[in-house]
Amino acid sequence: MTIGFIDSAVGTSNIPESVRALTSLPDIDYADQFTLSTDVAATSEQWARAIFGDIPNAGELLIWCGLLGFRLSRTRSPATVAGWRIGGCGEDWIRLEAASWFLTGNLLVWTVGEQVSLGTFLYYRRKVGHGVWPPLSAIHRRLVPGLLHDAEARLRALR
């Protein structure tokens, strides 16, 4: 294992069924998974909060609320991460949920051994989702590795 290495998978058929089963979506139209090899030990919720924070920042509000129309909480709460509702969790995973009139999303963070993974899963509730997300997904896939590395640095600083 190389610490700091990030592996990725894009496409619903490239995500293990055991991971897809943790989503709350009726169907999955988009899926990706980014996995960081790390020696930083933290719970999945600690990783989620290190990745996204407790409340959405200005950039997240622009993308998640402005472009995707997600209805997010804007206050700090133990029931949310960056405004996304905690929809489920287990010993080594946490699922964040948000929805708009045309899109439902799950962000899934899970830990296995010396790895942490972030998965994005979307269900297009209306046809407009097919037009809005694909161009944004290219930007999303470029940003996620940096989010994972930044979260690792934040958690490492807390040691």
Question: 6-157 is classed in which CATH architecture?
Answer: 2-Layer Sandwich (3.30)
pLDDT tens digit at each of 159 positions of the chain: 677 778 888 888 889 999 999 999 999 999 999 999 999 999 999 999 999 999 998 989 999 999 999 999 989 999 999 999 999 999 999 999 999 999 999 999 999 999 999 999 999 999 999 999 999 999 999 999 999 999 999 999 987
- Residues 51, 38: contact at Cβ < 8 Å? no
Instruction: List the alpha helices (DSSP H) in the chain.
Output: 17-20, 44-52, 58-60, 128-157
Domain ranges of the chain: 6-157
pLDDT in the model for residue 106: 98
pLDDT in the model for residue 1: 60
pLDDT in the model for residue 6: 87
Q: If we measure between CA atoms, which residue out of 51, 39, 34 comes closest to residue 117? A: 34
pLDDT in the model for residue 7: 86
Which one-letter amino acid corresponds to residue 75?
T
- Residues 92, 111: contact at Cβ < 8 Å? yes
- The structure's pTM equals 0.94
